[in-house]
Structure 1
Amino acid sequence: MKVQRWQLVLGAALVALTLGWYALRWYAFPGTAMHNEMWRFLIGDMAFLFLQVLLVTFFLDSVMQKREHDEMRQKLNMIVGAFFSQLGTALLGEIARGDEGLGDVRGDLVPSTQWKPSNYAAARAAFSAHDPHIDLGACDLVALRDLLHREKPYLLGLLGNQALLEHETFTDLLWAITHLAEELEVRPGFDTLPAPDRAHLAGDVKRAYTLLGVHWIDYLAHLQSAYPYLFSLAVRTNPLDPSARAEVNA
């Protein structure tokens, strides 16, 4: 950590004031007995100084680190929330249309207000273990390409955000989506792709889809505990539930 000039000046001033006050006391109260008393208090204060250093180093430092961690976590949650609002939810729904086996795990992916942390853990495990078979024919690849092309500056901006350096898994998701966008952009069309290329492209879609689904589950868990009104809308527009409707019916 670089020491600022004002910190050096302040430190020197405080040391000078301390020495000045001790000198004033030394000359204002002459006598051997008084000076011995001053030495006794000075040595006692210095002995307690080590305990003060211990308290500041371990206790206050841990409190400050926890506060910084909480602030960073809050900032990350805001970034993730903005991502799903801007792109993530729509992208997840677009890819889910081509997941032929989604019905096998869909029952675990419909959150409600009754869900507890254990339900989210089960949903996360179910989607992580899910091996989606992506049918590119069921996906609108042109719409997917246009969506990602339109949001590519936003994705690159997120990748340059220093706050995401500590969120490695979310960064992996952003790279997977960015790579998928580039794969789609370099192909002039999708109707006559050879089978090996379709398999390659399906693998890129699958990679982004799996990471996206897991983060979406974590995102909903955060919304339920922190922003119930946002959670309500997210559940009613669940991209993995074809029966979801934005209108409130009950």
Structure 2
Amino acid sequence: MVSNKNWLTVFAICLLFSSLALFALHYLAFHDLDHILIYTLHDLAFLPIEVLLVTLILHQLLERQARKSKLNKLNMVIGLFFSEIGAPLMRFFSIRDMDFQAKMEFYSSLKTWDHSIYVRKKKESMKAQYKVQFSCNDLLILREMLISKEDFLVRLLENPFLLEHESFTDVLQAVFHLTDELKHRGMCEDLPDSDLIHLSGDITRIYSQIVPVWITYLEYLKADYPYLFSLAIRTNPFTEAEDSIVRE
């Protein structure tokens, strides 16, 4: 079986011999070596320009279009995640956040943010404190929520576009880990403080990682899909109560 490298070598040799054969045929037909040399030099002189046009300009345009297509498909997956489990998780965490009032103020002007503000707010959100205060009953509710969406999360992992978004895959990994942790626990009344601290760390990991991804996704919606952005703003998890009704 011919390897890929050997195949390319054979193909290159065939192309060279084909070119030489055509030059020889041209000389035999017209006996004009000067003509062959002039046009060969002309073609060689144009070759760098052709390389520039094809590899640096055309290739970049095609690559940019391919990246945009991948980004659109990836954001469709991210949007589905937030619709099914991401946004409910954020609301579950936010209303139990010990600094909820400050975060409500922080995200109250989402609708008016421009690109520079999104960049700044995302950086600030990555440095923010995320401290969720939960009860035993909260853990049971959270466990049922996560288990009910486990098949959906597994199907998300089958999407090859996820490899293009490291932050989002980190969120999924953190969600899967918390799901496994909660599945291995029964009733939580007898859990020691050390275990509750461990679970609090798992919850904080998801909460702190999911918010910057959500901000990036909102900016994408605002630029490309205003109608989806409108719904996302109306269902902002950093409000006292979700209200999807259009009131303006």
The TM-score, its normalising length taken from structure 1, stands at 0.84
Residues 154-165 of structure 1 mapped to structure 2, 5 A cutoff: 154-165=152-163
User: Which position in structure 1 is the counterpart of 2:30?
Assistant: 29
Superposition deviation, residue 231 in structure 1: 0.9
How many residues in Structure 1 have an aligned counterpart in Structure 2?
246
> Aligned equivalents of 1:137 and 1:235: distance in 2?
29
Superposition deviation, residue 169 in structure 1: 1.2
In the alignment, is the contact (CA less than 8 A) between 2:235 and 2:243 conserved in 1? yes
Letter in 2 for 1:231: F
> Aligned equivalents of 2:75 and 2:116: distance in 1?
20
User: Which position in structure 2 is the counterpart of 1:169?
Assistant: 167
User: Which position in structure 2 is the counterpart of 1:99?
Assistant: 97
Does the alignment pair 1:73 with 2:79?
no
Deviates more, 1:197-206 or 1:17-26: 17-26
Superposition deviation, residue 228 in structure 1: 0.8
User: Which position in structure 2 is the counterpart of 1:181?
Assistant: 179
In the alignment, is the contact (CA less than 8 A) between 1:105 and 1:130 conserved in 2? no
Deviates more, 1:123-132 or 1:177-186: 123-132
Does the alignment pair 1:113 with 2:114?
no
Superposition deviation, residue 104 in structure 1: 1.7
> Aligned equivalents of 2:137 and 2:93: distance in 1?
6
Task: Note closer, same or farther for the CA distance 1:70–1:189 as it changes in structure 2 (3 Å cut).
Answer: same
Superposition deviation, residue 149 in structure 1: 0.9
Superposition deviation, residue 40 in structure 1: 2.0
Deviates more, 1:203-212 or 1:236-245: 236-245
Does the alignment pair 1:245 with 2:243?
yes
2:143 to 142, 145, 161: 145
Superposition deviation, residue 202 in structure 1: 1.0
User: Which position in structure 2 is the counterpart of 1:45?
Assistant: 43
> Aligned equivalents of 2:115 and 2:187: distance in 1?
44
Deviates more, 1:72-81 or 1:49-58: 49-58
User: Which position in structure 2 is the counterpart of 1:135?
Assistant: 133
> Aligned equivalents of 1:157 and 1:182: distance in 2?
17
Letter in 1 for 2:165: H
- Aligned CA RMSD, in angstroms, stands at 2.9
Superposition deviation, residue 101 in structure 1: 1.1
Superposition deviation, residue 23 in structure 1: 4.4
Superposition deviation, residue 204 in structure 1: 0.7
> Aligned equivalents of 2:128 and 2:42: distance in 1?
66
Deviates more, 1:159-168 or 1:220-229: 159-168
Superposition deviation, residue 167 in structure 1: 1.4
In the alignment, is the contact (CA less than 8 A) between 2:174 and 2:205 conserved in 1? yes
Gaps of 5+ in 1: none
* 1:120-156 Cα deviation digits (max 9, x unpaired): 2343234322212211128722221112112122223
Letter in 2 for 1:78: M
Task: Note closer, same or farther for the CA distance 1:245–1:162 as it changes in structure 2 (3 Å cut).
Answer: same
* 1:69-127 Cα deviation digits (max 9, x unpaired): 22222222121111111211111111222212121222111344322123323432343
In the alignment, is the contact (CA less than 8 A) between 1:97 and 1:138 conserved in 2? no
Gaps of 5+ in 2: none
Residues 1-20 of structure 1 mapped to structure 2, 5 A cutoff: none
1:85 to 64, 73, 83: 83
> Aligned equivalents of 1:132 and 1:233: distance in 2?
25
In the alignment, is the contact (CA less than 8 A) between 1:176 and 1:207 conserved in 2? yes
The TM-score, its normalising length taken from structure 2, stands at 0.85
